[in-house]
Amino acid sequence: MNAPPLIRSIRRAAQVQMPTTRCVWRQVMRPAQMRFNSSIAPTHSDMPTAAVENTPENEKSPADNVRMPRAVQALYLAPLRRECEYGVPSADLQLRSYSKRGLELFSDFALRAAYYLGLPAFGPVPLPRITERWTVPRSHFIFKKSQENFERITMRRLIQIRDGHPETVQVWLAFLQKHAYPGVGMKANMWEFDKLGVGKEMDTLAEASKELLEPQWAHAGQGKVPTSLTKAKALEELFKKEKHVEAVERIKDEIMTMRQKHASGFSLSDTPRGAIIFSGIQPTGVPHLGNYLGALLRWVQLQDATAADKSTQLFYSVVDLHALTSVQATNSASNGAVLRQRRRETLAAMLAIGLDPDRCVLFYQSAVPAHSELMWLLSCTASVGYLSRMTQWKSKLQLKDDASFSDEKARAGLKLGLFSYPVLMAADVLVHRATHVPVGEDQSQHLEFAREVASGFNHVHGQPLLVPPTTLLSPARRIMSLQQPTQKMSKSHADERSRILLTDDDKTVRSKIMAALTDSTNAVTYDLKTRPGVSNLLELLALVEGDNLYRAVTSSNASIEVAAQALATEMEGKTLGVLKKRVAEAVIGRLAGVRDRFADVLELDGGAYLDRVADHGAKQARNNTAETMDAVRTAIGL
């Protein structure tokens, strides 16, 4: 049998060191063994005198054909072993097999291949056996025994390469994998080591980093934003190396602020001319204080900021189709009446906070069929994999962010409407050709999906049919719950005291704030980590107190924290009761006018005024979507 090509080529290069003298024990080996052992043979000087025969084959006695022990064979391999200089392990190869014969045969083959490649190989070292035992009961008892016992023994050998070049070791392992012996498993571990003197290089790097660190300390200490995003990233990496954790967090906030500026393209107080702004709110009933300070107040600020620019269009929708994804009792005959009432209350709240129906387009989402039509057309090109990575349906089902379809709970509770929720949201924005969409940070993922869908749709049809929107991220912090200050204020919370509705009277607002969860320390301090309840009240006071109506939507997180800290310093030595009373009076003063206007709008003309506003806005919205849908239908061929 011929040797493998790699060994054959190496053997030709080392003919001087590789004598080809035939020996007696080689002639009686099996073909498979001859394949691996044909290239290694002892010389006349190494072999015993009786082992070398010059007589013809027919004159040899049967005793001369006895195969020599492997221990004796290993001695003949000694001249081929390469000596290691440092003794540093480069790779460990573990061989496993149920057959001892095949394991020893392949171990011998692996050692020979390592010798030919010039690798200092050591072994094979026997490792402890792995014994597995199990019992299988019989299906019936007609036999004498009612069960059978089985045992399987796995034998192992370890071969170690020392001072081997990593590339040579990889060639060796690849060769063994190519010529793997049946029934023998392999598992290899490789190590790579850096050169000596790495510690000295790290000391030099630390000294060189001071030249970049020292000029930036003044900026980092005062919290100033670096001049460019590139410098901020470089400084962040430097701080990571030096383990300045607080400085790294500060730089991350600065980078996020700059990213928000790049994502928005403009500030809320400086809207571009000719922009189309779209946003929506679900009809969950009367909005609470978090809705008002987080989203609704921003709509009013956008309206006032663009009052002199008639080319800027504002579309605000009550997205009642999105509300259908919420779990509702199917056996209740009043579901329709409840949804209709909530839609009217949401629209009345939009008018009560100051939105002008002559300046803004206020409408119900279901009154514009183009939203649903475009949603279906986009669903034909939307990626299911992208939708499965969205967090909306996972949060609604109270699943982890890494949940997938393989989760049994996800399969049991997930509905198609909830899963395709982002597609409908993308259709809401794209059908109006919105250039800017004001959303919170938790909704920015949906805007990224809308841009992805628009780009994919335009690419498929080869023309810019849909306008990718720009995200307007809110700089303000979320309004937190009064009973669970680590969670945002929500209507889904079971405790009604956790939220303040826009229609709550003075007595109700005062009682909810006085019952707000704080802690046992009866002092006013600002610390978000250790005292979240007190810090929440201080931030709420900073947002609603004063003459700046739009402070909640124009102030950044840093400025809100500074204002809250200033209030804590001002109220130093005061009790929590004094703080709660001050917060209650500030909230009552801010919501007094909104509550009165809400009741007036809801009852004006017996409710006919709301219907006229909704019909007028729906007509304007349908006219605006007609242009988009005509272009889309023509491109598709409908």
DSSP 3-state of 362: strand
- CA 231 vs CA 217, 245, 509, 584: distances in Å: 13, 18, 47, 44
Residue 537 lies in a domain: no
Distance CA 164, CA 118 (A): 8
Same domain (yes/no): 168, 235: no
Residues 311-364 pLDDT 10s: 888 899 888 888 887 755 444 555 678 888 888 888 888 888 888 888 889 999
73 vs 542, higher pLDDT: 542
Residue 134 lies in a domain: yes
31 vs 546, higher pLDDT: 546
Residue 46 lies in a domain: yes
- Return the biggest CA–CA distance within the chain: 127
Residues 415-438 pLDDT 10s: 777 777 888 888 888 888 888 888
- Given a cut of 80, is residue 538 above it in pLDDT? yes
Contact between residue 470 and residue 259 where contact means Cβ atoms under 8 Å apart: no
Same domain (yes/no): 407, 328: yes
- How much is the mean pLDDT over the chain? 75
Distance CA 96, CA 188 (A): 11
Phi, psi of 33 (to 5 degrees): -75, -35
Residues 172-192 pLDDT 10s: 999 999 999 899 999 999 887
- CA 403 vs CA 101, 249, 444: distances in Å: 48, 28, 20
The encoded tokens of residue 477 equal 């912090």
The encoded tokens of residue 18 equal 């590789």
Distance CA 410, CA 367 (A): 32
End position of a domain, from candidates 427, 444, 478: 478
DSSP 8-state symbol, 2: P
Contact between residue 279 and residue 361 where contact means Cβ atoms under 8 Å apart: no
The band of 74, judged by pLDDT with boundaries at 50, 70 and 90, is low
- Given a cut of 80, is residue 202 above it in pLDDT? no
CB-count exposure of residue 139 (10 Å: 0-12, 13-18, 19+)? exposed
Same domain (yes/no): 416, 314: yes
Rank 34-38, 92-96, 554-558, 583-587 by mean pLDDT and report only the highest.
92-96
Same domain (yes/no): 304, 451: yes
- Given a cut of 90, is residue 409 above it in pLDDT? no
Same domain (yes/no): 383, 435: yes
CATH of the domain at 310: 3.40.50.620
Distance CA 300, CA 359 (A): 11
The H or E element containing residue 69 is: none
Q: Bridge-partner residues for 615, per DSSP?
A: none
CA 365 to chain CA centroid, nearest Å: 32
Same domain (yes/no): 326, 407: yes
Listed range (99-108, 136-145, 442-451) with the worst mean pLDDT: 136-145
Q: Bridge-partner residues for 91, per DSSP?
A: 161, 190
Residue 428: count of CB within 10 angstroms of its CB: 27
Helices in 57-137 by DSSP H: which ranges?
70-76, 100-116
Mean pLDDT over 121-143 rounds to 81
Q: Mind telling me the catalytic residues?
A: 396, 488, 491
463 vs 96, higher pLDDT: 96
Identity of residue 31: P
The encoded tokens of residue 510 equal 């005062």
CB-count exposure of residue 299 (10 Å: 0-12, 13-18, 19+)? buried
Residue 281 lies in a domain: yes
The structural domain count of the chain equals: 4
End position of a domain, from candidates 478, 504, 523: 478
393 vs 366, higher pLDDT: 366
Phi, psi of 44 (to 5 degrees): -65, -35
Res 137: pLDDT:
74
Distance CA 347, CA 581 (A): 31
1 vs 635, higher pLDDT: 635
- Given a cut of 70, is residue 466 above it in pLDDT? yes
158 vs 485, higher pLDDT: 158
DSSP 3-state of 487: coil
Between strands 436-439 and 470-473, the pairing is parallel
Same domain (yes/no): 45, 93: no
Distance CA 387, CA 378 (A): 13
Contacts of 457 (CB under 8 A, 6+ apart): 378, 381, 465, 466
Residue linked to tokens 């809401």: 428
Enclosing domain of residue 23:
5-76
Mean pLDDT over 598-615 rounds to 86
Same domain (yes/no): 128, 254: no
Residues 284-326 pLDDT 10s: 878 888 888 877 888 888 888 887 777 888 899 888 888 887 7
Same domain (yes/no): 216, 344: no
